[in-house]
A and B are shown apart, each in its own frame.
Chain A
Amino acid sequence: MKLDRRCFLALSIGGAAGTALTPLPWKLTDDLSIWSQNWPWTPVPDKGAITYTHSVCDLCPGGCGITVKKAGDRVIRVEGIEDYPVNQGGVCILGIAGPQLLYSPTRVQKPLKRIGNRGEGRWEPISWQDALAMVIDKLKTLRAADKSHSVAGVFGRDRGTVAQLFQRLLTVYGSPNFFSTPSYLDNYEMTLYLMHGMRASVGVDAKNADFILSFGSGMIQGWGSSVYMFKANSLLKSTGRVVQVEPRLSVSAAKADEWVAVKPGTEGALALGLAHVIINENLHNSDFVVNYSTGFETFKQLVLGKYAPETVAGITDVPAEKIVALARAFARARKPLAICGRGQGLTPGHLSDYIAVHALNALVGNINRQGGVIAIPEADDIDWPEATMDAIAVAGMQKGRIDGAGSSRYPHSRSLLNQLPEVLNTGKGDSIETLFVADVNPLYTMPDAEATRAALAQIPFIVSFASFMDETAQMADLILPNHMYLERLEDVPSPAAYPANIIGLSRPAIGPLFDTRHTGDVIIALAHALGGNIAAAFPWQDYPTCLRETLGDKWNELNRKGYWQGPEVAAPLGFGTFDTASSKFEFSNPDLNAALESQPALPQGDATTYPHLLLPYDTMRIASGPIGSPPFLVKSVDETVLQGNDVLVEVNPKTAAALQLADGKPAKLKTPKGEAKVRVHITEGVAPDVVALPRGLGHTAYDDFLAGKGVNYNALVGMTEDPVSGLDATWGIRAKLSKA
């Protein structure tokens, strides 16, 4: 067809007129304005009177004082309390995101009973009355069958009234199997037990030290009470020096005055090398060594004989002259302080490392004094009358712990949760018939996730007190949801590694949003229903009464100030500070020497199949404990850590070049325990052949903002026990990274 001028004009004018007559342009303009200014569906927050409630944060062992800001009946913000001794107005990233946890769709809103298969996620609401009746029935049946010791409880901590109430319930019921979450604090406790002769928790007076030598501890990654350590770190910028010994350039290493890049797993040897130089050059504090310690000669022979700087340089890859210089700088500082426990200390690590590092503190005499390491004797805050035990309870308690803690094999340990999967999976020990789980998420946080899953599968009845539907709660048979921390009244025991004994009071900022119950109340109700001696051991009507009576004369102060601080514990050196046989600090004794010379077989895996080394790292921006990261935290994660749903592992350019991997490209990460799809982030912050993976990702539970993103380090790593403590000594695992 020929297109002449007339036809062309008719078509174009007709077309324009036609288009103008259709609703299309008007529809498009309308859409455009709606698209750009559609306001009615953006929420308008309700106004309301602004009020504040003082409380204590219970999301991690940091124990920060917080004030919860409300508008009317809505919690809108969490801030730090200026005059709270631990955090002095500061608050961490997770603490600030607290309201997102309160209003999270992953909250367990009412008691639930499993109806589908485990992990299938099919639940049926059940009344509190029926739920408690189910538990009581189970407990009564087991007890009648002389199986009281097959009931166990895993709690987040062993201190505080709620954990103690549960432990008391287990004891009078007839089971020794109370577990708490293992961490670096267990190793510290054991180190103090072996060297100071007393059961004490560690306190680190970081703010008054002038030289902090950190053996991999993430001072600004959540080690200790995170905000306290942050403040100390900032203070040291003007008053002192921080040296970080670590194989990877962590934030703590980057921000330290000096980073000593050490071969993975050899931190303990480096500490002994430093001890060698200090003793050899007579730089140690002779007053402390002569007057307040014993066993120095044996220790001296060990380090002088085996840990000369040249030898240690060969072990650690740290040049000998650097070792000498570091030892001199440390010993000559006014208040030198050495700390231990990798990253946030989630994996306890090797006991001998802690002993070596603590020996450094003793050599410079920086123990139990300002700016030093303080042994805080176990608090006697909870002083309940001895419960009367019946025959079943006595028999149950005599059976001994299922994990072997306290037995002749691990005489100094108190709880070895990490041993539980193996005991259950091999069927060597007793079985567990009923397990109670509170404030923990072992299925996610324990190494060797497969073994943990298999172990949990063997327990016929699991009761969870979870506030959130986490991985472990999904495996439970019954969920008795606790109030979350912003809704409950509870004592918060002394913060991790804080240099004083301080009890905080967590107060409800808002009434319970859902049909949840305080775990303390549930424990008391269970005890009362079990009757007899068990009920008699719980003479309180409810949990608030128990808390008030337990805290006794501290209650008024706690209620007024929000915290109670114990007397100065930095006892002057001398009588009573050390409770060893010699009443002195012990550099050596048979148990100590055995521990110092023990070597766990690490890392797992053979070097030919797995040429690389997988190391975990901790970051404040990802919650790696039982609580999953709320959406704000996931949003804050760097693009060098997460891209889409893929986690990026840190790889040295040399390793990447050898594997022909470009930055951001997908790769396959295989370890003896598992396999995962990752992407690579090429950085000079890790040594060649090392692969670094952040902890806290790879959740299968929680909301869409977190679940399915990245890889869980614990699913790729196994458990390697420390031969003396029985705790998990693992710091990494052999791995193979290859092009996907």
Chain B
Amino acid sequence: MKQAQNHTKNYLYAMAIDLDKCTGCGACMVACMSENNVPFRRDETDQLLSMKWLRVYKLTNGKAYPDHDVCYLPRPCMQCAGQHEGHSPCVSVCPATATDYDQNTGIVSQIYTRCFGCRYCMAACPYHVRLFNWWDPVWPEGMEKMLNPKVSVRMRGVVEKCSFCFHRFQQAKDRAYAKGKRDIDEQDYQTSCTQACPAGAITFGDLNNPSHAVTQLVKPDHKHHGRPQAPHAFRLLERLGTNAKVYYLSSREWVRKMGDNYLKNEKQAGSH
């Protein structure tokens, strides 16, 4: 269908998050909020209502003191491609075509003015990535001055989610055109969280480009929906077949096993 108009280069943007390096500091969350004009309320402690495009989860191995262990897991939108490129869980249910899978970048979009707030996509998303604007966004007096002009502020009544900072991709393309380049480099387009992470735990790039760090880190098997071939690499709920484009790396087996619903004595899929 859309392949016909595909005369530009095909990118497949993906993210790899090294959970050994991730310190759970939350800089990615705040970098995301500041870049994407995410509003905030007085009480944000109810996580079902708290608008966070990227949320850091805390995992524990459940063992007793002092064998207890904790790992943090940042969770942006997985930008699922589904079993057939474009068959993402949310895209396939949206009655308003407010969310779409971009064949050129592999990024799942969200068009706020089309969304009428039915929240079907929220129910379909297996990762709880999508959140609904129950309230008007309100900034304390004067603080709306810090809003980023490149990202529109969302209104009450629509669903929103992480966009892999798609506006940065557009800006990178504009800059490339201005310089007379046909292509954008790896460093030209990086998400806000990747750029901010003080531990350097997040790697972002194009899986179609073998020279990009992310491709080398996860070694995707393109014949099998991008399944990671690198040891220690895994995706969340791999067996659902969402074909997610966010990969995680962890040297700890209990962390990798948390990524999917394993039976007690089952071996972790894809671990070599």
Contact = CB atoms under 8 A, between A and B. Distances in A.
Interface string B128-166: 000000001101111111111100111111100000000
B143 A226 contact: no
B155 A220 contact: no
Contact of A633 (B30, B52, B153): B30
Nearest to A64: B198
Contacts of B149: 45-48, 71, 76
A306 B58 CA distance: 42
30 contacts: A38-B156, A38-B157, A42-B154, A44-B153, A45-B37, A46-B149, A74-B147, A75-B145, A76-B149, A80-B196, A80-B198, A91-B27, A93-B25, A93-B26, A104-B140, A105-B140, A220-B25, A233-B23, A249-B65, A249-B69, A254-B70, A621-B26, A634-B44, A639-B46, A642-B45, A643-B45, A684-B60, A684-B62, A685-B60, A687-B65
B71 interface: yes
B23 A38 contact: no
Given A233-B199, A234-B201, A644-B43, A251 B70 contact: yes
A37 interface: yes
Interface in B45-95: 45-47, 50, 52, 56, 58, 60, 62-66, 68-72
Contacts of B62: 684
B198 A227 contact: yes
B58 A638 contact: yes
B124 interface: no
Contacts of B154: 42
A238 to B, nearest CB: 9
A92 B147 contact: no
Interface string A241-284: 00000000101001100010100000000000000000000000
B23 A686 contact: no
B202 to A, nearest CB: 11
A538 interface: no
B197 interface: yes
A631 interface: yes
Contacts of A71: 148-149
Contacts of A583: none
Contacts of B31: 96
B241 interface: no
Given A77-B35, A96-B31, A230 B155 contact: no
B200 A234 contact: yes
Nearest to B72: A251
A43 B147 contact: yes
Given A45-B153, A685-B70, 20 more contacts: A35-B157, A42-B136, A79-B196, A80-B196, A91-B198, A96-B31, A103-B140, A105-B140, A220-B23, A231-B199, A231-B200, A233-B23, A621-B25, A631-B40, A632-B34, A635-B52, A639-B45, A639-B46, A640-B58, A642-B45
B259 interface: no
B25 A620 contact: yes
Interface in B12-43: 18, 20-21, 23-27, 29-31, 33-35, 37, 40, 42-43
Question: Which 4 residue pairs are nearest across A and B when measured between Cβ atoms?
Answer: A261-B66, A36-B157, A90-B198, A45-B147
A406 B148 CA distance: 52
Interface string A27-65: 000000001111101111111100000000000000000
A77 B261 CA distance: 39
Interface string B99-121: 00000000000000000110000
B146 A234 contact: no
Query: Chain A interface: which size bin?
Result: 35 or more
Contacts of B46: 639
A230 B199 contact: yes
B25 A42 contact: no
Interface residues of B, number: 66
A99 interface: yes
Interface of A: 35-39, 41-48, 71, 74-80, 87, 89-93, 96-97, 99-100, 102-105, 220, 226-227, 230-231, 233-234, 237, 249, 251, 254-255, 259, 261, 620-621, 631-640, 642-645, 652, 683-688, 703-705
Contacts of A37: 116, 155, 157-158
A105 B141 CA distance: 7
Contacts of B196: 79-80, 90-91, 96
B195 interface: yes
B143 A259 contact: no
A621 B65 CA distance: 24
Nearest to B152: A44
A237 B142 CA distance: 43
A683 B23 contact: no
Nearest to B43: A644
A237 B155 contact: no
B44 A75 contact: no
A97 B42 contact: no
Nearest to B146: A99
B148 A76 contact: yes
Contact of A249 (B29, B44, B68, B198): B68
B146 A76 contact: yes
Contacts of B65: 249, 261, 652, 684-688
A621 B200 CA distance: 18
A71 B116 CA distance: 31
Contacts of B44: 634-635
A90 to B, nearest CB: 4
B200 A90 contact: yes
Contacts of A683: 60, 68
Contact of B148 (A45, A80, A103, A634): A45
Contact of A103 (B43, B63, B136, B142): B142
Given A36-B156, A103-B142, A684 B63 contact: yes
A99 B25 CA distance: 19
Task: Identify which of B45, B64, B198 gathers the most chain A CB atoms within 10 Å of its CB.
Answer: B198
Given A76-B147, A254-B70, A688-B65, A705 B40 contact: yes
Contacts of B71: 254
A77 B153 contact: no
A99 B70 contact: no
Contacts of B58: 638, 640
Contacts of A90: 196-200
Nearest to A631: B40
Interface string B191-225: 00001111111000000000000000000000000
Nearest to B68: A684
Contacts of B145: 74-75, 103
B142 A254 contact: no
A42 B147 contact: no
A7 B201 CA distance: 74
Contacts of A261: 65-66
A220 B197 CA distance: 12
Nearest to B44: A635
Contacts of B24: 251
Contacts of B43: 644-645
A90 B197 CA distance: 6
B25 A234 contact: no
Contacts of A103: 140, 142-143, 145-146
Contacts of A39: 155
Nearest to A705: B42
A321 B147 CA distance: 57
Task: Identify which of A76, A642, A688 gathers the most chain B CB atoms within 10 Å of its CB.
Answer: A76
A230 B197 CA distance: 10
A42 B153 contact: yes
B155 A38 contact: yes
Contacts of A78: 34
A92 B28 CA distance: 9
A632 B44 CA distance: 10
B199 A97 contact: no
Task: Identify which of B20, B25, B35, B137 gathers the most chain A CB atoms within 10 Å of its CB.
Answer: B25
Nearest to A621: B26
A255 B201 CA distance: 13
Nearest to B28: A93
Contact of B140 (A230, A233, A703): A703
